[in-house]
Amino acid sequence: MHYSFKIILRLILKKPVLSIINFTGFTIGILASLLIYLWVYDQSTFEKFHSDYNRIYRVLTLSKQGEDIIKSAASYQPIAETMKKDYPQIEAATYLYGSSEDSPLQFENGKKIEARKFYTNTDFFRIFDGFEFLEGNAENAFKHKSNIVLSEKVARKLFGNSPALGKKIVSDKYSENIYTVSAVLKIPRNTHIDFGYLLSEDNLSLHHSTNSWRDSYWIRTYIKLSANAEIDSLFLNRISNHVSRYSNRTDKLMFQPLSEIHLHSDYTTNMLDNKISNYKYVVIFSALALLILIMVILNFTILSTVSYSEQAKEIGIQKVNGAKRHSLLLQFMMNSFLQTFVAAFFAIALAFVLLPKFNQLTGQQLQINLSMQLITYLFLLIVFTAITAGLYPSIYLSKLNPVQILKAKNYNGGNIGLMNLLIVIQFAIAIFSISVSGVFMKQFHFITTKDLGINHSNMLVVPTGLWYDSNSFKNELLQNPNILSASASTYAPMYGGFRSNFVIDNNGAKDSIQAVILHVDDEFAKNYELKLTKGKFLNMNYSTYWEEMKKKSDDHTFSFPVVINESAEKLLGFEDPIGQRIGDNEIVGVVKDFHFKSLHHRIEPLVLMNSPENIMTMNIRVSKHKRKESIAFIRDTYKKHREDREFSFQFFDDLLKAEYRNENHLKNTTKAFTILSIIISILGMLGIAGFVVRQKTKEIGIRKTNGAKTYEIIQMLNLKFLKWVIVAFILACPIAWYVMNIWLQNFAYKTELNWWVFALSGIIAIGIAIITVSWQSWRTAKRNPVESLRYE
């Protein structure tokens, strides 16, 4: 053992370049695998902190909307109660009833904060038992109607580090309510549920419970099955038809395991669904890590074989002196293990250093906790890497015949075919990575620079919650010359709006269409520079609005003006839409299609309406050069209107970036992995080229003696490698094209899969190969042929 160890060390020290290549490769491979493991592990822990998470499901609704069947997490409020009552298989059922904006909370005369309010029932604590009670307990959480359960974040905002339990809080959004804090809950990072505070469903006002089998947008329902629940087809059939049994709706229900919400939510989500990711990213990153590991393993396999081949005589002598095959095998394996272990330590150390950067790249908050699970993973990773890397050289070299080795003047055991295979695989992976990275970058550039049909430059978005008071706030803002324009709306035209059905009467034929409603004021078109194609924009003032509302309540004919977009115009099919009615509204104008959601979504039919009850946001265009001053002015003006409320703002461009956060992380991470794969390819190529050049030192010397020029030598060696890089290119391109084609299907608007992206990847790979090989060849070709000929 000691002797083998000595031999290994001698070999490592004797060939420092090769050893550095192997060691660097191992370090990179293990580092990449470790980081990806941390990320994948983190993704897989979502919701698993609840004790019976595998019995908890979120209710999904399939419903017909227009011509489409839409799947969503929205569900009707009575589902929880009725399901629990109807099916013994269901042990507990709860729902979260959220709202479109935050609600105020104030402790005594302290600062008024705003937090997201949810109503729920007592089963919430039975189902989600993983939320740690920092204060209070589940039994007393909703003992009284006026109890309030705060999230840790909100409790800290209101009470600092003082205890919150038993304290009275005032909320005065519509009417003044006084609540008593009954519990404080810690919400972990790895959950899709996020709330500021919880109230008992007993507080649900009549307004909220109106048409309970109709409104579902702000409700999420969760059920927990009994431990031994019998799930048969009859039960599934009944439970999927549950809505139809209680209403005349045809909606069907589906059930999503709680632990799958984070990665497998293949439906449109809204503000209630937090931290939703996509399993495709896990697959892509894991695949990239695996590919890098494969590259590293191949590097070691080939370069070790080559390196040992150069030491063939030594092996022959060991064998002649009685070295058994298994002791040689052990020696080769030990080499592999030694290098992998050392590399693993470096990789772990590097992981600690690079983790903050990796978190930044992926948008995660990963931490390295040396848990048993992580240690086991690392151990298995090292063993797997070491064995797979050392297996081929060990078997190949230990079975060599000593007579043949010793007879040969210069044993050239290096398997050229295997080396070529390595070049093909490594470069195929590198070309694949470069292509993928290229397409990601191209798509990201496309979605972040595409003209949305609106002018959003220097547009500040301020959530105001001012509703009826929006106009006076806007008018005050416009007094400042740095405020170029302003308009109010429900949300910034990035978050879409609410879907609704409109009944239309097209030449006597009744029909209904589905469109998105965005409530805006009369300055909206001017502010965002929407292009009007027909009619005029909304110019209704609020007094007219209330007059129409009164008519509506008195059941008289009433009319609210609306403006539609071109998609809605096309869908409606009116010859001249101006003056036509959709639902209770008269169309007064048509605007050119513009994007009011991220480019993941198609432009849908849109109806722009004016309703002061739904105005919660101010969109303010500020002077490019006076941003700071403008923000300060807006803040001061806002404080005059809402002294208690926290002022917040975001630039539209930042909102836009946030919508593409996932894509940005994907692009950055892929870029990093591509660089790693290129480095490994270069290392591999350096090793192989070095070996080949050493093999051909004599040939080069003879050629030079016979008058060959340096460039001819370089050309000869380059051609030898380039043909395999081209093979790699031919193999990698279709795979990359196929994978990217699938990925781009996630987008309603996508960049073209141009041939030049793949050609560029090939050129980059060929360039890397040429530079690497040329450098090695040039060093040898420049040497004095006498030295070359004396070499052997």
Binding range to other proteins, per CB under 8 A, among 44-52, 62-70, 453-461, 774-782: 62-70
The reply on whether position 57 binds other proteins by CB under 8 A is: yes
Q: Which CB, 547 or 636, lies closer to other proteins? A: 547
User: 19, 140, 247, 662: which one contacts other proteins (CB under 8 A)?
Assistant: 247
CB 561 within 8 A of CB 585: yes
Smallest separation, CB 600 to other proteins (Å)? 20
Smallest separation, CB 553 to other proteins (Å)? 4
Q: Which CB, 156 or 499, lies closer to other proteins? A: 499
Q: Which CB, 88 or 573, lies closer to other proteins? A: 88
Smallest separation, CB 240 to other proteins (Å)? 5
Angle at 577 between CA 576 and CA 578, to 5 degrees: 95
* Pairing mode, strands 132-136 and 103-107: unpaired
Amino acid at 303: L
Q: Which CB, 53 or 57, lies closer to other proteins? A: 57
C-alpha–C-alpha distance, residues 568 and 222, integer Å: 35
The reply on whether position 254 binds other proteins by CB under 8 A is: yes
Between residue 204 and residue 223, which ones bind other proteins under the rule CB under 8 A?
A: 206, 209-214
Smallest separation, CB 121 to other proteins (Å)? 12
Q: Which CB, 231 or 395, lies closer to other proteins? A: 231
User: 192, 220, 252, 456: which one contacts other proteins (CB under 8 A)?
Assistant: 252
Q: How far is CA 551 from the centre of its chain?
A: 49
Q: Where are the beta strands (DSSP E) in 404-508?
A: 459-463, 483-489, 498-506
Q: Which CB, 71 or 642, lies closer to other proteins? A: 71
Q: Which CB, 76 or 652, lies closer to other proteins? A: 76
Smallest separation, CB 101 to other proteins (Å)? 20
Return phi, psi of residue 48, to 5°.
-85, 5
Q: Left, alpha or beta for 496 (phi > 0: left; psi -120 to 50: alpha)? A: left
Under rule CB under 8 A, how many of the chain's residues touch other proteins?
34
CB 566 within 8 A of CB 592: yes
User: 47, 251, 273, 659: which one contacts other proteins (CB under 8 A)?
Assistant: 251
C-alpha–C-alpha distance, residues 511 and 502, integer Å: 8
What does the per-residue mask of binding to other proteins show for 551-590, with x meaning CB under 8 A? Answer: -xx-x-----------------------------------
For residue 705, what are the contacts with CB-CB under 8 A and spacing of at least 6?
785, 789
CB 102 within 8 A of CB 116: yes
Smallest separation, CB 656 to other proteins (Å)? 32
User: 6, 10, 14, 64: which one contacts other proteins (CB under 8 A)?
Assistant: 64
Binding range to other proteins, per CB under 8 A, among 483-491, 548-556, 679-687, 721-729: 548-556
Q: Which CB, 175 or 211, lies closer to other proteins? A: 211
The reply on whether position 278 binds other proteins by CB under 8 A is: no
Q: Left, alpha or beta for 664 (phi > 0: left; psi -120 to 50: alpha)? A: alpha
The reply on whether position 250 binds other proteins by CB under 8 A is: yes
Tokens at 624, concatenated: 């490019």
Tokens at 684, concatenated: 């591999």
C-alpha–C-alpha distance, residues 234 and 180, integer Å: 45
Binding range to other proteins, per CB under 8 A, among 247-255, 408-416, 595-603, 656-664: 247-255
For residue 638, what are the contacts with CB-CB under 8 A and spacing of at least 6?
462, 464, 473, 645, 647
- In terms of Cα–Cα distance, which of 498, 436, 432, 466 is closest to 72? 498
The reply on whether position 177 binds other proteins by CB under 8 A is: no
Smallest separation, CB 510 to other proteins (Å)? 9
Q: How far is CA 498 from the centre of its chain?
A: 25
The reply on whether position 365 binds other proteins by CB under 8 A is: no
Smallest separation, CB 582 to other proteins (Å)? 15
Q: Which CB, 1 or 509, lies closer to other proteins? A: 509
Burial class (CB in 10 A: 0-12, 13-18, 19+), 569: buried
Smallest separation, CB 239 to other proteins (Å)? 8
C-alpha–C-alpha distance, residues 772 and 765, integer Å: 11
Smallest separation, CB 252 to other proteins (Å)? 4
What does the per-residue mask of binding to other proteins show for 449-488, with x meaning CB under 8 A? Answer: ----------------------------------------
Q: Which CB, 63 or 388, lies closer to other proteins? A: 63
The reply on whether position 257 binds other proteins by CB under 8 A is: yes
Tokens at 396, concatenated: 């190949």
Smallest separation, CB 195 to other proteins (Å)? 23
C-alpha–C-alpha distance, residues 540 and 372, integer Å: 66
C-alpha–C-alpha distance, residues 148 and 141, integer Å: 7
Q: Which CB, 200 or 437, lies closer to other proteins? A: 200
Binding range to other proteins, per CB under 8 A, among 58-66, 118-126, 399-407, 740-748: 58-66
The reply on whether position 327 binds other proteins by CB under 8 A is: no
What does the per-residue mask of binding to other proteins show for 66-95, with x meaning CB under 8 A? Answer: ---x-x------x--xx--x----------
Q: Which residues pair with 622 in a beta bridge?
A: 483
**SS3 per residue for 615-658:** CCEEEEEECHHHHHHHHHHHHHHHHHHCCCCCCCCEEHHHHHHH
Q: Which CB, 57 or 537, lies closer to other proteins? A: 57
For residue 407, give the H/E element and its range. helix 402-407
Binding range to other proteins, per CB under 8 A, among 135-143, 249-257, 373-381, 694-702: 249-257
Tokens at 8, concatenated: 């290994």
Q: Which CB, 214 or 399, lies closer to other proteins? A: 214
For residue 187, what are the contacts with CB-CB under 8 A and spacing of at least 6?
131, 151, 152, 153, 193, 194, 195
For residue 68, give the H/E element and its range. strand 68-72
> Would you give the DSSP letter of residue 243?
H
The reply on whether position 416 binds other proteins by CB under 8 A is: no
Question: What percent of the chain is helix, strand and coil (3-state, nearest 5)?
Answer: 55, 20, 30
Tokens at 777, concatenated: 């060849």
CB 300 within 8 A of CB 336: yes
Smallest separation, CB 210 to other proteins (Å)? 6
C-alpha–C-alpha distance, residues 659 and 688, integer Å: 45
Give the footprint of other proteins on this chain (CB under 8 A): 57, 62-64, 69, 71, 78, 81-82, 85, 206, 209-214, 225, 231, 236, 240, 244, 246-248, 250-252, 254-255, 257, 552-553, 555
